[in-house]
Amino acid sequence: MLKTFIGGIHPPYNKELTNQKPIEKAILPKKVIIPMGMHIGAPCEPIVKVGDLVKKGQKIGEAKAFVSVPAHASISGKVVAVEPRPWPGGGLIMSVVIESDGKDELYEGIHPPKTLSHLTPDEIKNLIREAGITGLGGAGFPTQVKLSPPPEKGVDIIIVNAAECEPYITADHRLLLERPDDVVLGLEAIMKATGVKKSFIGIENNKLDAVDSIKKALQDKKDIEVVVLATKYPQGGEKQLIKAVTGREVPSGGLPMDVGVIVNNAGTCAAISNVLKTGLPLIERITTVTGSGIKEPKNLLIKIGTPLIDIIGQCGGFKGKPGKVLMGGPMMGLAQSQLEAPTIKGTSGLLVLEKADVKLYEPSPCIRCARCVDACPINLLPTNLAKFAEKNMWVEAESYHAMDCIECGCCSYVCPAHIPLTQHIRIAKSHIISSRKKK
Amino acid sequence: MANSILTSMLSMGGLGLVLGGGLALASKKLAVKTDPRVDAIVEALPGANCGACGYPGCSGLAKSIVEGKAPINACPVGGTPVAEKIAKIMGVSDIDSEDDKKIVRVLCQGGKSEAKVKSEYHGVKTCKAASMVNNGPKSCSFACIGFGDCVKVCPVNAITMGDNGLPVIDGEKCTGCGLCVKECPKMVLALTSSKNEVHVRCRATMKGKDTRAVCSIGCIACKQCEKICPFDAIHVKNNVAVIDYEKCRNCMLCVEKCPTKSIKSLFVERKKAVIDEEKCIGCTLCAKNCPVNAITGEVKKVHVVNQDLCIGCGICQEKCRKGAIEMVRNE
Amino acid sequence: MQLFKDFINGIWNENPIFKMVIGICSALAVTTAANNGIAMGLALTFVLTCSSILISLLRNVIPAKVRIPCYIIVVATFTTVVDLFMKAYFPSLYEVLGIFIPLIVVNCTVLARAESFASKVGLARATADALGMGLGFTWAITLISMIRELLGAGTLFGYRVMWDGFTPWVSAILPPGAFIVMGILVGLINMINRKTAKDTHSH
Amino acid sequence: MDDYRLITTSSPHLHSGENISRIMFSVAIALLLPTFAGIYFFGFRALSLVVITSLAAMLTEAIFQKLRNKPIAISDGSALVTGMLLALNLPPGLPYWMAVVGAVVAISLGKQIYGGLGSNPFNPALIGRVFLMITFTTPMTTWINPVDGTTGATPLSLMKMQGLQTDYAKMLIGNIGGSLGETSALLIIIGGIYLIYKGYVDWRIPASFLGSVAVLSGFLGQDPIFHLLSGGLMLGAFFMATDMVTTPLSKLGKIIFGIGAGLFTVLIRVYGGYPEGVSFSILLMNAFTPLINRFTVPKIYGEVKAE
Amino acid sequence: MAKELFFIIVGSIFVNNFVLSRFLGQCPFLGVSSKTETAVGMGMATTFVLTMTAVAAYFLQNYILAPFGLEPFLQIVSFILVIASLVQLVEMVILKISPTLYNAFGIFLPLVTTNCIVMGVALLIPMNNYNLIKSIALGLGAGIGFTLALALMSGIREDLEFADVPEALRGPAIVFITAGLLSMIFMGFTGLVPLG
Amino acid sequence: MNQYARMIIVLMIISIASGAVLALSYEVTNPTIQEQARQKLEQSVLTVIPGATKMEEVQKEDMMIYIGLDDQGNKKGISFKAIGSGFDGPIEIMVGYNPKEGKLLGIEILSMSETPGLGARIKEEAFTKQFKEKSAEDEFTAKEDVQVISGATISSTAVANAIRTSLDKIVKIYPVGGDF
Ligand SMILES: Cc1cc2nc3c(=O)[nH]c(=O)nc-3n(C[C@H](O)[C@H](O)[C@H](O)COP(=O)(O)O)c2cc1C
Ligand SMILES: Cc1cc2nc3c(=O)[nH]c(=O)nc-3n(C[C@H](O)[C@H](O)[C@H](O)COP(=O)(O)O)c2cc1C
Ligand SMILES: Cc1cc2nc3c(=O)[nH]c(=O)nc-3n(C[C@H](O)[C@H](O)[C@H](O)COP(=O)(O)O)c2cc1C
Ligand SMILES: Cc1cc2nc3c(=O)[nH]c(=O)nc-3n(C[C@H](O)[C@H](O)[C@H](O)CO)c2cc1C
Ligand code: SF4
Ligand code: SF4
Ligand code: SF4
Ligand code: SF4
Ligand code: FES
């Protein structure tokens, strides 16, 4: 029996569009827009002015709070604007706009640190923070904060999340195939930083070549184990991953560290290894550009801050009339409408769907078929939550655990009545949060 | 026959005595202090304990009314007369005095024909839901989304959706409860005193050209209002004009000047100064203080207001020591 | 005028059965035949009127704390009187109405009117209201019982009115029929009300 | 931007493609099996009854939706299923007009007054049937024998009234007196298994329903196999107790539902005034469903350990 | 005896449910069935009062009314008076000793007094010549039956909050029709036990 | 006056007044009520014993037996109540019987709560008349000796069984062919 969790769905994966495409380095963008808040937590503050000249890797945004990370220039050039700009979350956010000088010069302050064996845990964490590393798995949580759990939590397991359960996306898959050593090095740094002795790398069984690749890279390292998981969405959700790999259940309202686990995305590990090897902060990442509406689907190594439209251009542009452009995968990705918005650290994929492929449904009344209940990996009653949300019954929604919803979208995916369950629940969560804040 | 009547009277009398005594004793010994309003409401209610209200009996309803969990007209049996009594007991209808009434204003004019739309939104049709998807479908991230969450929440039906997809407030009905203000995810609504008649109906803090790119009626921070305001009451802050209501006198000059019409008021409501000839002693104070020189007249002679020039700021009225000037609404 | 208003109130505006929906136990239980409906309605009207008169007269004598027991005694007394007289002079009706005559005591309409109206107003108004309520109750339950009798037995007041070969819809005179007929009638009356409300609105 | 405007929606952006009419039409297809059996045994009358109730059900639905200014949604197939199931629950000799009354009641009182598909607390087809049962009892309990067309009794009333036992094989194949669709247990099971395979029916309800009937009837000294094969049990367990609208959401709730229905069925069959109790039992459990739902909220991921 | 008691209880819960087939206690059935919590609270209070009433009615009947030949004309008055006073007393006592208990069920007590199910049970006892234990069984059965009907209805009504019920049928109308359907379903129990 | 004393006194006065009114009404109506009940009983006894114009009550063992007499005082037959358990509660039957001939004279259903249109049809003459002339030795088996009403086997059987059971008792008291 393959390890997995209860609930979940089997959407069409469509990974064959890009899983054989090697990672390509993207063309140097003419202009990058670096938002000051690409992570969960306090945004950082710009420390450059219009007209300043900056170089690749230079810090341009300072993180003042604990749960925050600095931002860096991903190219060399001139700062042309420091102002609110559209970003993938929609709306405007304070950003630094850099016009490329075409040279892609490295900032002088960048040099490789000591080798891992000579670094202390605190030095590692500091490097990670200064490099602006946030989780590349999606949520964008500052990694060094995650790596500093209070000692009483007794963290004893690190899990590398290489499940990549989102349909279409193959960035982590290619990473594991092409740079397995980086993932392993990053993981070792995490283990050293946290003092944890045991770790797992979880991979879905639709990427067996990646399993082989990483196993080869591990050779005889006994404290790191590869776990092959069933292919099922959302296998990569950290709660599901923890359940599948360790059998532990993160308590409702709790964090993975409450059960002694830290989960990191494979890309995050690679980013850490990049700092260790070159000293370069997190200024580029692998993004899968794919979908029926793109001419040449690719896995691209892009500079953070590259406008979405530039990336689409590099992949041959739109095929047919574009219907939806999603940042991320089809299950959790954010629909975009402003293509001048930049890619950010959490952009694992850019999915373009042709207009004809975008299916819109009118919801009809719930027939209480319980498909959503069966699909929900958290075992919630999505239909009840959605009904409460429609009637503004936030207290009831909270008592039926709306806050535990991970917004995976399984319920909406299966609902034969086409009810936007996940959206209703999201609204309920937002109301509950604001009423909690008031108290 | 007489016998049976006697027995019957005796036993009923006995029952009455025992039970009356028991109840009397109980009400003396077991008295529990309750909110006097609860008792008062119980008195007012029919006391049928029929449960038709959905609460556990009349005292149950009384308790819920006092706790604010039930409306004052919850008793279907008692009807309006009872509801009125309860209203008195609960002391409701402490609505603000008429002149200091607060009402809600819509601070966005980017309706269907004015504001650009950046995306085609599908999904749950509420402003809240749409605002959570890509920050709403309109290009201006400050714009009213127009699904009417405010309409749904208003308890007195004071809001309707206009043809251009923006809410319209019925100032007569609005009680200033502020529920809609809390509900609006775009913070497009604001409570202001009903006395304030001039409002900047735009909150977009983008640079002027960016605002213009997305909306034909947004504030472009051109500062013309700032320049014309005789009372220094309006200033452009963070790319958008803001009125200081301490200083604003409803003269509406800024409204006339604004090139994008993003400042708005109802011109019919502009007041005009009228001088009472009986009272005017010709002291010239008004003429000296008028910011637009709309008043003329000689010392010790009755002064005249040029109605075309008067902007209705009311300074003259304030300055006149004889109370000879009145501000009159131009019907 | 006021008296007429009080009287009409119970017949339509605040009809105990269809509008206020109280005192419906008997309305459901005894309405298997039109005769029963009328009889029950009149019995209730009698008790309601007599009690209202008496309570209105005594309203200043009875202390508040014992008013409920006092009202109950008054109501119960009149109920028993009706019970006894019916037993004596209308035995066959008594057999059908059975336990529901004594239950007039606890019929919510009676106590509700005693409390909310009779105990607060003078004799004339109390009487008008009681009569109105009683007749409102009576026509309502007569209507219900007519429908049920017609459907369930094909007769009206015991006379055959449906065509030959009509298959009676037995369920109409079984318990479910009572509820369903009642529900549909309340729904229809709501509909009429909303229509008239809308009409008066538009004028 | 160019000449396009992108579509934005909340995630997820994929859908399984499942929809209500597909579910309903699958049920209708599965129902064709017992329907064919009914037609085979009872001939043209069976066919015409099915057609008439289905049409009446769909028409009533359409009229209601028209009156309420709602989109006419008979294409979702739920009224068709209700109509077919009602017919399968009727004695083949029932006058047509009564069948129409049943269908009208089923859709109007059973479904539309609650707001239509998805909101009804009770199984509409069974409401229609029980209504007919208590309204026109005699025609509803007059059974035709498949072989000779004479009136006779169902195996259950034979058992109850005269203590006669009917042959298992006959009951399995359907060569017995009874409602149109309750005669052939075998075909019903096949149709039911098809629906379970398609995922439209949760196996827990039929399993716990049939299981509890078998256990309880055995416990009361009755023949469990006879009870399983007779009356409307099979049809009820596979097609009516599984109506998702009127049954609990959670898995545990479904098992409780099945057991409860089984319990009441045996109680009514063995001790009650009626020879058959499946319809009443399912409806009774429908009434319990909201309470079951309330008390069987599944334990969520991570619930226990939270304090 | 045990069997008879069982029949009395089961009979008054299912076969001749006091609300759904004997039509007693309709007002609270309609009024207090919109929320399950209140419905159950009301049901418990009613069950309590009914059991108490059964005892009171039994003693009143057999030790006062019957011996003095007052039964035919004082029965109604004395029953209702005793019930009303007893309930009021109990309410005061509960309020005094336990506010929590009062909130959970005491507040429902006044509602129960003037509910005809109480009087109905009281009158059925002499009518059927029940002894003390049977009287209690009847009170208990009636109460449980009432609670069951209320709980079922409240569950359905809570779900109906989300349903698109036609405007005119909202409120009592849909509750009546639902009660009718429930009553129809309860007819399935007809003949279940020989109820005397 | 002390408010508590007033409470008690008012309640008492009202109670006493009520007691008086009620006792009075009772005295007025009671004779009629008794008379009505007697008449009703007599009516049914006379119906089931053809030819009788008067009745006499006798208590034999635990059974009340009503003897029917004609104008001349001749005993025309006896009658007694039988109680059966029907579809929906008890069925009370008045049975007329002639012990001398060992034959039923007729029956009447006194009370029952069967379903209207079904079981309730046992009240109809079409059903009751078949019991006339039935012998006390008859088995009263439903569907054989007794024609059942279609759709109401249970009710019909209940009536038949009730008669059979009470006949058994009567036959012990008044053996067939004997006097009464
Ligand atoms: C407000 C917040 C606080 C968090 N605090 C911690 C923390 O103290 N330690 C930790 O290991 N992870 C922490 N996390 C990270 C979560 O465990 C999780 O990895 C992150 O939310 C991304 O998860 P997702 O992509 O599954 O949503 C925090 C996350 C959030 C949102
Ligand atoms: C439904 C769902 C699916 C997810 N799928 C993945 C995934 O396939 N791969 C992944 O790395 N993270 C995935 N995540 C994010 C993880 O929960 C978690 O945040 C991440 O692995 C933490 O690592 P990071 O902080 O390094 O990003 C998913 C989250 C959710 C809620
Ligand atoms: C609503 C309804 C009421 C019924 N009432 C009676 C009744 O009063 N008497 C009776 O014997 N059977 C009654 N029955 C039982 C059935 O008719 C039962 O099948 C019948 O007694 C036995 O069938 P048969 O008489 O046709 O052989 C009733 C059934 C229903 C559905
Ligand atoms: C598996 C399944 C079983 C169904 N069973 C019934 C049924 O027994 N009676 C019925 O009226 N409709 C049934 N339907 C159709 C539909 O769900 C029903 O009309 C709804 O209750 C109407 O809201 C069924 C549908 C499905 C998918
Ligand atoms: S979106 Fe929320 S409710 Fe829906 S399946 Fe995922 S976790 Fe469950
Ligand atoms: S999947 Fe859709 S139709 Fe089915 S229960 Fe959930 S919300 Fe209702
Ligand atoms: S004002 Fe706010 S709540 Fe009202 S329609 Fe506009 S966005 Fe929605
Ligand atoms: S919700 Fe309140 S503040 Fe807003 S319009 Fe209505 S009454 Fe005025
Ligand atoms: S009349 Fe019976 S409870 Fe109101």
Residue where a domain terminates, one of A232, A250, A278? A278
The alpha-helical segments, DSSP class H, found in A134-249 are 143-146, 171-178, 180-194, 208-218, 238-246
Find residues 346-405 of chain A whose CB sits inside 8 Å of chain E: 365, 387, 390-391
Asked if the C-beta of D68 comes within 8 angstroms of chain A's C-beta atoms, the answer is: no
Q: Do chains B and A touch (3 or more CB pairs under 8 A)?
A: yes
Q: Does any domain span residue A93?
A: no
CA distance C183 to C187: 6
Q: Do F27 and B13 touch (CB under 8 A)?
A: no
Q: Do F118 and D138 touch (CB under 8 A)?
A: yes
Q: Do F25 and C152 touch (CB under 8 A)?
A: no
Please report the atom of ligand 9 found closest to the CA of residue E24. 2
CA distance A380 to A411: 10
Angle (CA) B65 B70 B75, round 5°: 85
**pLDDT grade for A120, boundaries at 50, 70 and 90:** very high
| CA-atom Rg of chain C in angstroms | 18
Neighbours of A361 (CB within 10 A): 16
Residue with token string 């429902």:
E108
Q: Report which protein residue has its CA nearest ligand 2's atom 31.
A: A237
Lowest mean pLDDT among A18-32, A412-426, D170-184: D170-184
Question: What's the pLDDT score for residue A156?
Answer: 94
| CA-atom Rg of chain F in angstroms | 23
Q: Does any domain span residue E116?
A: yes
Residue A437, exposed/middle/buried by CB under 10 A (0-12, 13-18, 19+)?
Answer: exposed
* Interacting residues of E172 by C-beta distance below 8 A, sequence separation 6+: C21, C183, C186, E30
Q: Do B48 and C69 touch (CB under 8 A)?
A: no
Handedness of CA A95, A96, A101, A106 (dihedral sign): negative
* Phi, psi angle pair for C23, to nearest 5°: 65, 35
CA distance A109 to A91: 34
pLDDT per residue over C46-80, tens digit each?
999 999 999 999 888 888 777 778 888 899 999 99
Of D275 and F68, more confident: F68
Is pLDDT at B28 greater than 80 in this prediction? Answer: no
* Interacting residues of B79 by C-beta distance below 8 A, sequence separation 6+: C14
ipTM score here?
0.87
Closest CA to D142 of D100, D90, D83, D86: D90
Structural domain of E63: 19-186
Residue B4, exposed/middle/buried by CB under 10 A (0-12, 13-18, 19+)?
Answer: middle
Instruction: Please name the amino acid found at residue A168.
Output: Y
Token representation of residue D232: 């409307």
Mean pLDDT of chain D: 90
Residues of chain F contacting C70 with CB distance shorter than 8 Å: 10-11, 14
CA distance E178 to C180: 8
Asked if the C-beta of D66 comes within 8 angstroms of chain E's C-beta atoms, the answer is: no
CA distance A154 to D189: 55
| CA-atom Rg of chain D in angstroms | 21
| A248 CA from centroid of ligand 6 (Å) | 29
Residue pair D83/D53 in contact by the 8 Å Cβ criterion: yes
Residue pair D192/D206 in contact by the 8 Å Cβ criterion: yes
Closest CA to E91 of E111, E76, E77: E111
* Interacting residues of B272 by C-beta distance below 8 A, sequence separation 6+: B305, B307, B310, B312, B327, B328, B330
pLDDT per residue over F120-130, tens digit each?
889 888 899 89
pLDDT per residue over A62-100, tens digit each?
998 888 999 999 999 999 999 999 999 888 999 999 999
Give the gap in angstroms from C-alpha C190 to the nearest C-alpha of chain F. 32
* Interacting residues of A35 by C-beta distance below 8 A, sequence separation 6+: A71, A85, A87, A93, A94, A95, A305, A342, A344
CA distance A369 to D26: 14
Structural domain of F148: 47-173
The alpha-helical segments, DSSP class H, found in A94-147 are 121-130, 143-146
Find residues 143-162 of chain B whose CB sits inside 8 Å of chain A: none
Q: Do E181 and D127 touch (CB under 8 A)?
A: yes
Neighbours of A53 (CB within 10 A): 14
Is pLDDT at D211 greater than 50 in this prediction? Answer: yes
Angle (CA) E12 E18 E21, round 5°: 100
Residue with token string 């769907």:
A353
Q: Report which protein residue has its CA nearest ligand 5's atom 7.
A: A405
Neighbours of D66 (CB within 10 A): 11
Residue pair B153/B183 in contact by the 8 Å Cβ criterion: yes
Neighbours of A22 (CB within 10 A): 9
Q: Does any domain span residue F94?
A: yes
Q: Do chains C and A touch (3 or more CB pairs under 8 A)?
A: no
Structural domain of A376: 371-438
Q: Do C176 and D136 touch (CB under 8 A)?
A: no
Residue pair A268/A135 in contact by the 8 Å Cβ criterion: yes
Neighbours of F100 (CB within 10 A): 14
Residue with token string 């109007």:
D108
| CATH for A204 | 3.40.50.11540
Is pLDDT at D149 greater than 70 in this prediction? Answer: no
Q: Does any domain span residue E67?
A: yes
Residue pair D41/A371 in contact by the 8 Å Cβ criterion: no
Residue where a domain terminates, one of A278, A300, A318? A278
CATH numbers and ranges of domains, chain B: 36-96 (1.10.15.40), 97-195 (3.30.70.20), 198-266 (3.30.70.20), 272-328 (3.30.70.20)
Instruction: Please name the amino acid found at residue F79.
Output: S
Helix (H, G, I), strand (E, B) or coil at F69: strand
Question: What's the pLDDT score for residue D304?
Answer: 67
Residues of chain F contacting D161 with CB distance shorter than 8 Å: 153
Angle (CA) C126 C132 C133, round 5°: 90
Give the count of Cβ contacts less than 8 A between chain A and B: 44
Instruction: Going from the first residue of chain E to its last (196 residues), give the mean pLDDT of each consecutive group of 10, the final group possibly shorter.
Output: 84 90 88 87 89 92 87 85 81 78 69 78 88 94 96 96 92 95 93 57
Q: Do A387 and E162 touch (CB under 8 A)?
A: yes
CA distance D83 to E13: 33
| Claim to verify: residue A265 and residue A380 sit in the same structural domain | no
Mean pLDDT on A114-139: 92
CATH numbers and ranges of domains, chain D: 20-294 (1.10.3430)
Closest CA to E156 of D265, A392, B60, D284: D284
Token representation of residue A282: 């997190």
Of F21 and F86, more confident: F21
Token representation of residue D233: 């049990």
Q: Which residues pair with A142 in a beta bridge?
A: A134
Across C54-86, b (16+ Cβ under 10 Å) vs e yields bbbebbeebbebbbbbbbbbbbbbbbbbbbbbb
Question: What's the pLDDT score for residue B196?
Answer: 84
Residue of D nearest to E164 (CA): D115
CA distance D92 to D152: 12
Mean pLDDT on A159-177: 95
CA distance E77 to C80: 8
Q: Does any domain span residue F28?
A: no
Q: Does any domain span residue E196?
A: no
pLDDT per residue over B196-250, tens digit each?
888 999 999 988 888 999 999 999 999 999 999 988 999 999 899 999 988 888 8
Neighbours of A435 (CB within 10 A): 12
Token representation of residue A95: 């950003």
Residue pair A329/A167 in contact by the 8 Å Cβ criterion: yes
Token representation of residue A383: 């239909």
Token representation of residue A297: 């689907």
Mean pLDDT on C2-12: 89
| Claim to verify: residue A407 and residue A273 sit in the same structural domain | no
Residues of chain C contacting D109 with CB distance shorter than 8 Å: 180
Asked if the C-beta of C20 comes within 8 angstroms of chain B's C-beta atoms, the answer is: yes
* Interacting residues of B2 by C-beta distance below 8 A, sequence separation 6+: none
Residues of chain B contacting D7 with CB distance shorter than 8 Å: 119-122
CA distance B44 to B219: 56
H/E run at residue A31: strand A31-35
What's the number of domains chain E is made of? 1
CA distance A315 to A290: 9
What's the number of domains chain F is made of? 1
B148 lines ligand 8 (CB under 6 A): no
A386 lines ligand 5 (CB under 6 A): no
What's the number of domains chain A is made of? 2
Q: Does any domain span residue E130?
A: yes
| Claim to verify: residue A156 and residue A263 sit in the same structural domain | yes
CA distance D299 to F49: 73
Helix (H, G, I), strand (E, B) or coil at D271: helix
Residue A210, exposed/middle/buried by CB under 10 A (0-12, 13-18, 19+)?
Answer: buried
Handedness of CA A35, A39, A40, A43 (dihedral sign): negative
Give the count of Cβ contacts less than 8 A between chain C and D: 14
Of E23, E77, E175, the CB nearest to C73: E77
Mean pLDDT on D179-201: 90
CA distance C43 to B33: 42
Residues whose beta carbon lies within 6 Å of some atom of ligand 1: A 40, 135, 137-139, 141, 145-146, 149, 237-238, 255-257, 262-263
Helix (H, G, I), strand (E, B) or coil at D211: helix
Residues of chain F contacting E190 with CB distance shorter than 8 Å: 87-88
CA distance D180 to D174: 10
Lowest mean pLDDT among A259-263, D93-97, F135-139: F135-139
**pLDDT grade for B93, boundaries at 50, 70 and 90:** very low
Residue pair D94/D49 in contact by the 8 Å Cβ criterion: yes
Residue where a domain terminates, one of A232, A259, A278? A278
B158 lines ligand 8 (CB under 6 A): yes
Question: What's the pLDDT score for residue B96?
Answer: 40
Q: Does any domain span residue E192?
A: no
Substitution site in A165, A366, A371, A421 for ligand 5 pocket (most atoms within 8 Å of beta carbon): A421
Measured N-to-C along each axis, helices B2-29 and F3-48 cross at an angle, to the nearest 10 degrees, of 140
Q: What letter would DSSP give residue C19?
A: T
Q: Does any domain span residue E160?
A: yes
Q: Which of E19, E20, E184 should we substitute to test contact with D (largest number of D Cβ atoms within 10 Å)?
A: E184
CA distance B57 to E107: 7
Question: What's the pLDDT score for residue F90?
Answer: 83
Neighbours of C161 (CB within 10 A): 12
Residue pair D182/D234 in contact by the 8 Å Cβ criterion: yes
Please report the atom of ligand 5 found closest to the CA of residue A410. 5
